[in-house]
């Protein structure tokens, strides 16, 4: 029975060590989020991104965005060729 008591004592000691480590990690996370981590940047975003919800873009809007980007690239390439 003394072996069982030693095992229980060792497990309790390990549990306490893990608990202290978790508290240290929590403090580190709090410090990092206060410096503009995940939570800090989420507050600066719009309401959709702050809550984790994503906006959907229609197919037509994606086509317009893609066409505008292609036009920007074409304009950029044209200025590069003329130099």
pLDDT at position 22: 95
Is the pLDDT higher at 52 or at 9?
A: 9
CB 48 within 8 A of CB 55: yes
pTM of the predicted structure, to 2 decimals: 0.38
> Is 51's pLDDT higher than 60?
yes
Is the pLDDT higher at 34 or at 44?
A: 34
pLDDT at position 49: 62
- Assign 81 a pLDDT band (cuts: 50, 70, 90): confident
Domain extents in the chain: 2-82
Cβ within 8 Å of residue 57, ≥6 positions away: 65
């Amino acid at each position: 029975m003394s072996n069982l008591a030693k095992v229980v004592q060792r497990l309790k000691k390990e549990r306490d060590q893990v608990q202290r480590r978790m508290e240290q990690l929590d403090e580190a996370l709090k410090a990092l989020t206060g410096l503009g981590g995940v939570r800090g940047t989420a507050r600066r975003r719009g309401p959709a991104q702050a809550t984790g919800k994503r906006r959907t873009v229609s197919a037509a809007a994606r086509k317009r965005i893609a066409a505008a980007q292609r036009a920007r690239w074409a304009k950029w390439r044209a200025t590069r060729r003329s130099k």
